[in-house]
Homo-oligomer: A and B are copies of this chain.
Amino acid sequence: MSQLQYLVEHIQEKQSFLCVGLDTDPTKIPTHLNDFSQPVLEFNKQIIDATRAFCVAYKPNLAFYESMGSEGWDILKSTVDYIGPHHLKIADAKRGDIGNTADQYAKTFFKDLGFDAITIAPYMGRDSIQPFLEYKDKWTIVLGLTSNPGFEDFQLRKISPNDRYLFEEVIETVAQWGTAGQLMFVVGATRTEYLQRIRSIIPEHFLLVPGVGSQGGDLKETFQKGANDHVGLLINSSRGIIYAASDESFADAAALEASRLNDEMKKLIIQW
């Protein structure tokens, strides 16, 4: 079964297209976890066990693991191993460099760490993305239209001669370099006014959608404007789930929030 088929079936089975963002900040985890030798890993394990039934993907954010130095790197690897084979494991790394460097990143994230997918910045062009696409059974997820306030600075520049936005040119160009079975795009949930334009460019591709929750994006609107016939969306929530409570009940609170989002997704899929 191809990785695309697997993902589509996993979404159908769970009626969920939720991705849980593991942006685990050592300074924000409940203090009772300090009794464990690796508090962040214990936090992640409990979050994963609590949310596994409600999501199809996990997305550790590299910045938070790098902030812990070499131990963070071990915790990241252990976290990926703990997630296991059923869920999509996305490295939110936003890498992008010249060919020989991109080769190294691809090897590190896909082979050594065992991720299924990685996020990539497009500014440096094709040879910075190609080494990831060489791994046909992995996902390369390229930044299209991001959820942060700074998206306007460059992504909304208009390109001559057709006055299309830079993000449209990026998505259309990159989509020619790989198939919908190996490429996804990041499109922020805070940018729903552009989702239909994006769907007209890439009707088949999956979109990884951050920005629901803490950043204010709306799940229903994102689905209605962005879903395709196999859903085609992975909606990420990080802080809204993993920090749903800050005391000993954190895992229960995370389960509750993930379950609530899953219920919302079920309704949307049934009505679709």
In the complex with contacts A64-B104, A169-B157, A148-B123 CB distance below 8 A: no
Q: Which residues of B contact A25 (CB under 8 A)?
A: 104
Q: Which residues of B contact A226 (CB under 8 A)?
A: none
B155 touches A67 (CB 8 A): no
Set B94, B107, B112, B163: member contacting A95, Cβ < 8 A: B94
Interface-located stretch among A11-19, A39-47, A71-79, A245-253: A71-79
- Report the Cα distance A110→B69, complex, angstroms: 13
Residue interface mask A73-90, B partner, CB < 8 A = 1: 110010000000000000
A170 interface residue, CB < 8 Å from B? yes
Size category of the A interface is 35 or more
A125 touches B151 (CB 8 A): yes
A173 interface residue, CB < 8 Å from B? yes
Residue interface mask A45-80, B partner, CB < 8 A = 1: 000000000000000010110110111111001000
Set B63, B108, B128, B150: member contacting A124, Cβ < 8 A: B150
The winner among A98, A127, A163 for most chain B CB atoms within 10 A is A98
In the complex with contacts A69-B73, A160-B160, A152-B123 CB distance below 8 A: no
- Pull 21 A–B residue pairs with CB atoms less than 8 Å apart, ordered by A: A63-B97, A63-B108, A67-B105, A69-B77, A69-B108, A70-B71, A94-B121, A94-B124, A96-B96, A98-B148, A123-B154, A124-B143, A125-B148, A125-B149, A125-B150, A127-B149, A129-B150, A153-B173, A154-B170, A158-B160, A160-B160
